[in-house]
Amino acid sequence: MPQNETPRNETPRNETSRNEIEIRGLRKSFGDNEVLRGIDLEVARGEVVCVIGPSGSGKSTLLRCVNLLEEPSAGQVFVGGTEVTDLDVDIDAVRRRIGMVFQQFNLFPHITVTENLVLPQRRVLRRDKVKAAAVARENLDRVGLAEKADAYPAQLSGGQQQRVAIARALAMGPEVMLFDEPTSALDPELVGDVLAVMRVLAGEGMTMMVVTHEMSFAREVADRVVFMDGGVIVEQGPAEQVVGAPREERTRNFLNRILDPAAEARPTSHLPPGDQPG
């Protein structure tokens, strides 16, 4: 590592910056099912926060409440100092500052990769066609897919489609990027290229909230890891501490299942070695 490079997770790179995201007392219920039960969380400008936890813990719902894809039942969400949950907020203006990448790629299959990037710029940002095309090319190059500019989504692998989805979000010039399990729909051999793009974005100082099961990515890239279970934050802290030496038993149990999924399936025998069957 170069001498002038600060290792991640040792010194917060934005210690004196204002928060880009603030979540206060956030609750969300679907009928009688309370999915989020009073979440308080801050994400500083340029910080990478990975949210981990079992299925059904409220991770994706939390992420979707940040840009109001899900309307909170109670609490407040601020993005860049603007209260997203204010009834009078211009939510479209706020969303233009937030890029979101989902599990599914949501690309239009009947138009080219470039056109998938140009269309939202033209419709939402009102960019002229020449400028939008230039921004599209720049961001395709950014994710390593410049040579696929004229391809159609069906001609790409799943990993390439997800990288196009990331480029599409970046083309809108967001200040914050939200990733909801961006590699969960990919074959294992395609995951690495998507994570590599996300590592580059983190290195560039992009503010990121990432819901993920990729523990190696969280440990390497995140400034902070948040573990959720049962709609609450159980534990949060530097990635090395939460993933490497969690304080809470619930966190340890979850990580044991994720990092060694075969452990629970291994038979446990109390027979002396000489009496083992077979």
According to DSSP, the β-strands at 48-52 and 232-237 are unpaired
Per-residue model confidence as pLDDT tens digits over 174-199: 999 999 999 988 988 889 999 999 99
Note every long-range contact of 104-110, with CB atoms under 8 Å and residues 24 or more positions apart, other chains counting.
Answer: 104/185, 105/153, 105/158, 105/161, 105/162, 105/164, 105/165, 105/185, 106/165, 107/153, 107/161, 107/164, 107/165, 107/168, 108/153, 109/152, 109/153, 109/154, 110/152
Beta bridge partners of 226: 51, 236
List per-block mean pLDDT (blocks of 10 residues) for the chain, which spans 278 residues. Answer: 40 54 97 96 96 95 95 96 94 92 93 97 95 97 96 96 96 96 90 94 96 92 96 96 95 90 54 46
- State how far the Cα of 37 lies from the Cα of 199, in Å rounded to an integer: 31
pLDDT at site 5: 40
pLDDT at site 185: 86
